[in-house]
Copies of this chain bind each other. A is one copy, B any other.
């Protein structure tokens, strides 16, 4: 019998945000999100943070995932090599004490191409465990760093991370295009034009084209952000689909960002399927807690 039992606390502890779940009989009894990500916690204060969570949610066993297990977190939980499923993650748990454990991340190094994930693995395995996606599937987790993951036999077989969201954030905040990229991004015409341009996979040139379009008056600045987002997401999607035989991409994301990726995937002739990422996380953490 697992130490986590029927009631435990699950914490999705990222770089900037943290979400705590009180799990009772596999269900979320209560959840809270705050901005106490690992970078907001002074090294050495993680035990106090955990004590604070137990004061608010109950004095229960605690299973942590995400950057809390990285070099900037509480304690390093070394990466487990892909292919990896729930048994490998459960075997790789790093125990802080006899009722507090950190889930390890997953690494891959196929054909000399290194990649890592930390936190996403719980959602991925949970999506399969809950039957939200098939055992063999291509999953996408858009965000600052978009994960594209091949599941095979219900395990994480291989994956690629693209820093698509970070590039967009850098361009919005700094540099030549920043003043043009202020409008909100919606999956309309300008976004889809960007997706089409992104298929050329010539980002550095396509991005300058946004400036040139302004100088020559061929696109309104109101459309520039949507075009730029479409361009970056379109290039990401095109690179991934080129090497994938899957007809469907299962997207784990909030509806806004997930909707943009879905539009780009469908514009490139595949089917997109949005999956509830919170439900997937809860299913995944339950599976790991059980083992």
Which A residues contact B (CB, under 8 angstroms)?
79, 107, 109, 112-116, 145-146, 160-164, 166-167, 169-171, 173-176, 200-205, 207-209, 211-213, 215-216, 218, 232, 235-236, 239
Contact = CB atoms under 8 A, between A and B. Distances in A.
Given A170-B171, A201-B202, A208 B107 contact: no
A113 to B, nearest CB: 6
B170 A79 contact: no
Contacts of A202: 162, 201, 235, 239
Contact of A161 (B115, B162, B205): B205
Given A79-B216, A161-B208, A163-B208, 12 more contacts: A107-B216, A112-B218, A113-B209, A114-B216, A115-B208, A116-B215, A145-B176, A162-B208, A163-B176, A203-B203, A204-B235, A205-B236
* Residue among A163, A164, A209, A213 with most chain B CB within 10 A: A163
Nearest to A170: B170
Contacts of A161: 205, 208-209, 212
Contacts of A211: 116, 163
B239 A205 contact: yes
A167 B216 contact: no
A212 B116 contact: yes
Contacts of A232: 204
A216 B176 contact: no
A109 B218 contact: yes
Contacts of A115: 208-209, 212
B164 A175 contact: no
A-B CB proximity, top 3 nearest: A162-B204, A114-B212, A202-B239
Given A160-B205, A235-B204, A218 B114 contact: yes
A202 B167 CA distance: 13
A284 to B, nearest CB: 22
Nearest to A163: B208
A215 B79 contact: yes
A77 to B, nearest CB: 13
Nearest to A236: B204
A171 B209 CA distance: 20
A163 B203 CA distance: 9
Contact of A174 (B109, B114, B162, B170): B170
Contacts of A171: 170
B204 A109 contact: no
B166 A205 contact: no
* Residue among A171, A212, A235, A236 with most chain B CB within 10 A: A212
Nearest to A219: B114
